[in-house]
Amino acid sequence: MHALARTPAVVVALVLAAGAAATPIRAAPAPPLWDHVGYDAEDSWSNPRESAITADTVRRLVRKWSVPLRSAETCSSFSGPIVAGGRVFVGDLAGITAYDAATGTRRWSHDWNGAIEGGTPRMAVAGGLLVVGYNDCMSVSDPNPVLVALDVRSGLLRWSASSPLVGTMIVDKGAVLVSGTDVSGDSETVTYRVSDGRELWKAPGRRVGGSSANGVVAGFAAGGSKSFDIVTGAVRWSTRLHLRTEAANPAGDVFYGADDRERLVAVNVGTGAVRWTAPGPTELIAADGNRLYRSDGEAITALDARTGKQVWRRDLPRYGGQPVVAGGVVYAGGIALDAARGTVITGTLPLGGELIVTGGVLYQSHEGSLTAYAVTGSGRSAGRTGRR
């Protein structure tokens, strides 16, 4: 009797549960993110999450907002933008400025330290902090390197640290690594904790390249190269190969860089073994896991990521600069190319300067202005100018 009395309630519960299961729960879209200069700690220059600006929509980009960057009588230079926490951060001639990512409204500014005139800053966001490393651009012999961490929301200084020359700066796994070689040829690498700037480890005589592959970094000196754990400094492997890393596969399993003979080389992150080599330039590269895109003057080449063999090559209308990959599109030399085939999608957009693509917006730092572009019909307004 009790079982019969409970049956309707059980049936109703099962029906409700089945109905709930049949209705998919849509996750909230990921916030716009390009929190390292090269998109990620791997310095891949490839955003796999972009889904709004694609080969089908990139022709419909229109200006959303544009703001002039701060100017000053200085040897400083403008940097490319990064995006995190609803802010766009860019180095200008007076320091660092944060803008609202949606409207271009200026939120805060951080000026260069006293008499120091900062060179192009290295920037990354982690743990709610904007980590910035730069050198005084007034003096090569006395560059006065500066490493600071600023609150993303307010711009307030949270910590600063004595740093070696900022040749490369990597932020990964809660650590920030700074590495450089001074005018006398002395190299040094020092790693700090992101949360408070406390020194974690250092490696005198070593110069680390510009990428971290899932927490593994590689450094070179006379006699060869070593890889280190970015947090502990523990050596993972050593090789006689003189390896200068420039980027890593987004999966974090392959380093890309230059070897002793200045060839492009792909190296296994776990063992240091060489997977393949290819002749040609090694610095301006982007990696999306399928292909490696290499800019060479007024041309760009795509290589198969597994073999290093050329997939396609395209002449560009002007100097290619750093390739950027997002939404199946490669941006280089002021044009947009299909990433798989290398065919030109459009060459009529204002794609000069330094740009990134994230959250359905293309942000561009060019000729003293920061401009945001979005796809027509995406619900975003066009032509708006942010307040200074």
Element (H, E) at 10: helix 2-22
Q: Which residues contact 320 (CB under 8 A, 6 or more apart)?
A: 284, 295, 296, 297, 298, 299, 300, 332, 333
Q: Which residues contact 217 (CB under 8 A, 6 or more apart)?
A: 170, 177, 208, 209, 211, 227, 228, 230, 245
User: Which band of pLDDT confidence, cut at 50, 70 and 90, is reported for residue 115?
Assistant: low
**pLDDT tens sequence across 6-37:** 334 433 343 334 344 444 444 445 578 999 99
- Residue 114 confidence (pLDDT): 64
Mean pLDDT (whole number) for 193-204: 96
Closest among 217, 223, 193 to 205, alpha carbons compared: 223
Q: What DSSP letter does each residue of 111-153 carry, written as one string?
A: E--TT--B-SPEEEEETTEEEEEE-BTT-SS----EEEEEETT
Angstrom distance (rounded) from CA 262 to CA 259: 5
**pLDDT tens sequence across 352-374:** 789 999 999 999 999 899 999 99
Angstrom distance (rounded) from CA 185 to CA 163: 17
- The most distant pair of C-alpha atoms in the chain lies apart, rounded to whole Å, by 93
Q: What DSSP letter does each residue of 345-378 carry, written as one string?
A: EES-S---SEEEEETTEEEEEETTEEEEEEETTS
Domains recognised in the chain with CATH numbers: 34-375 (2.130.10.10)
- Residue 19 confidence (pLDDT): 44
Kindly state the percentage of the chain with pLDDT values over 70. 87
**pLDDT tens sequence across 134-170:** 888 776 666 788 999 999 999 999 999 988 899 999 9
Kindly state the percentage of the chain with pLDDT values over 90. 70
Angstrom distance (rounded) from CA 262 to CA 226: 18
Q: Are strands 254-258 and 264-268 parallel, antiparallel or unpaired?
A: antiparallel
- Residue 309 confidence (pLDDT): 97
**pLDDT tens sequence across 165-191:** 999 999 999 999 999 988 888 899 999
**pLDDT tens sequence across 310-326:** 999 999 999 999 999 99
How many Cβ atoms sit within 10 Å of the Cβ of residue 382? 15
Among left, alpha and beta (phi > 0; psi -120 to 50; other), residue 341 is alpha
Alpha carbon distances (Å) from 100 to 89, 157, 194, 382: 9, 19, 24, 16
Whether 383 has a pLDDT exceeding 90, the answer reads no
Closest among 150, 84, 78, 87 to 113, alpha carbons compared: 150
Angstrom distance (rounded) from CA 359 to CA 372: 11
Element (H, E) at 8: helix 2-22
**Residue in this structure with the two tokens 């999966």, named with its chain if needed:** 251
- Residue 26 confidence (pLDDT): 46
**pLDDT tens sequence across 210-245:** 999 999 999 987 789 999 999 999 999 999 988 999
